[in-house]
A and B are shown apart, each in its own frame.
Chain A
C-alpha cells in the first residue's frame, strides 16, 4: 500500500495533468490504472485502494490549501487550487525573496547579488 504522502503526490499529479475537476471515484480509477500500468498486471495495490482512502488524501490536500471542492454537486468534484507552475513560483518567491526572516527559514547557497556584482563574476568566469 502506498503511503499517504505518495498518494498525495499521485493525486496532485493527476489533478495538475487533467486541468479539470474530478470526483474521488474518477481519481481512484485513474490511480488504479496507473498502478496497473506500472506493475504490468492487475496488482493488488490498485484493488486495495478504497475511495475512502482517496477522500482522506483529498481532505488532507484541501486542508493544506492545495485542492478545492466544487460545492453543490454530488458527488463532490475536486480540482487543484493553482497550477504546478504557480506553486513552483510560490516556492521560488520564498527562496529568492528578501523578507527579514527568510534567512532563518532556509539558507541559500548564494544570496541576491547586485547587477554590478553579477557582471564582475561573469568577467571572472570569462563568460562575457
Chain B
C-alpha cells in the first residue's frame, strides 16, 4: 500500500509536468498526429487516475491491505457510523482531497458540456434565420459575411458546416472542396468530443501545465488530422492555397472590429500573450502550413508501435496497481 501510493504520486507528478513539456516540444507528432493524439489521451487519463489513486491509497492505508478492502472499510465507517479513529488527520485529508478532486473533475466536465451545448443551440438558432442552405450539400450553409470564414458546428444529426460569401468568392472549386473535406473530417471523426474533454480538463485544473499543453496540442493535432483527410481528394498545393487565402483574408483583432462594427471585441486579441486561444491557434496555423510545405514521412512502424505500447502501459499500470492487489487478496 505504502509503495503503491508513492509510486502513483511520482507518476502523477511526472505526467503533470515534465512529460507534457517534452511531448509538446517534440517534432514527431506532426508526422503521426493520430499516434500523438492517443498518447495525449493516455497521459491525461493516467495522470488523473494516478493523482486520485495516490491520495486514495494513502488515505486508506490504515484500514485495508489494498484499495478494495480499504474502500469497503471506509464504506462501513461512513454508512454504519463506525469509529474513524484508525484514520489520522492526513489520511482523512487525502481522502477528502481525492473525493473533492473527483467531484470537481466530473462537475467541470458536465458544466462545460452544458455550456457548450447552450452556445451551440443559440448559434444554430441564429444560423437557421441568417444562413441559407448551400448547393454543396445538406450539411452546408452559407452566411453573408464578406471575409472568408469557414467553420463547422457539431451537433449529431444537426451538424453543419458554415461557409461565408467571402470564402465562396475567394476560393476556386477545388480549394472549396478541400475546405469542406477538412471541416467534414472534424465532424466525422468526432473531434469536438476530444476538444470538450480537454477543454474541461483545462478549465478544472488551469494551473497544471499538462492541461494547457494537452489542450493546445490536441487542438493542433485535430487540424492536422483533418488536413490529412482533405489531402486524400485534393492536392497539397490546393490545400496550402486555401489555407493561405483564408488566413490572409481573415480579419485579425482589429479587422474583425472594423468589419463587423462590433464595439466590444476585447477578448478577440490573437497574437497577444494573454489570449491563449488566439496565440495557440496562430502557432497551429504556422505548423500546419510548414507541415504541408515540407512533408515528412510518418513515424516508422516500430516507433509507432512503441508509442502505442507506452499508451497501453500508462493506462494499465496505475489501473493494475489500484485493482489487482484487491482481486488477488
Contacts and interface: CB of A to CB of B under 8 A. Distances in A.
Contact of A107 (B125, B192, B270): B192
B248 A98 contact: no
B219 interface: yes
Contacts of A87: 126, 129-130
Given A109-B150, A117-B285, A102 B129 contact: no
B281 A112 contact: yes
Given A109-B246, A121-B247, A9 B128 contact: yes
Given A99-B267, A100-B203, A101-B199, A88 B192 contact: no
Contacts of A124: 240, 244, 289
B191 interface: yes
A66 B267 contact: no
Interface stretch (A22-30, A43-51, A71-79, A89-97): A89-97
Contacts of B229: none
B186 A114 contact: no
A107 B186 contact: yes
A93 B262 contact: yes
Interface string A44-83: 0000000000000000000010100000000000000000
Contacts of B245: 125
A41 B222 CA distance: 53
A104 interface: yes
A19 interface: no
A18 interface: no
A104 B197 CA distance: 9
A107 B127 CA distance: 15
A118 interface: yes
B252 A95 contact: no
A113 B151 contact: no
Which of A84, A88, A99 has the most chain B CB atoms inside 10 A of its CB? A88
B82 interface: no
Q: Which 5 residue pairs of A and B lie closest in terms of their CB atoms, listed nearest first? A: A111-B281, A112-B270, A98-B277, A109-B150, A114-B271
Interface of B: 112, 115-116, 119-120, 123, 125-130, 143-145, 149-154, 179, 182-183, 186, 191-192, 195-196, 199, 202-203, 219, 222-223, 240-248, 250-253, 256, 259-262, 265, 267-271, 275-278, 280-282, 284-286, 289
30 contacts: A84-B130, A85-B261, A87-B126, A87-B129, A88-B145, A89-B262, A91-B123, A91-B126, A95-B149, A96-B251, A96-B265, A97-B265, A98-B270, A98-B278, A99-B267, A104-B116, A106-B120, A106-B123, A106-B151, A107-B154, A107-B222, A109-B151, A109-B242, A110-B246, A111-B270, A113-B247, A113-B248, A117-B285, A118-B250, A122-B248
Interface of A: 5, 8-9, 12, 64, 66, 84-85, 87-115, 117-118, 121-122, 124-125, 127
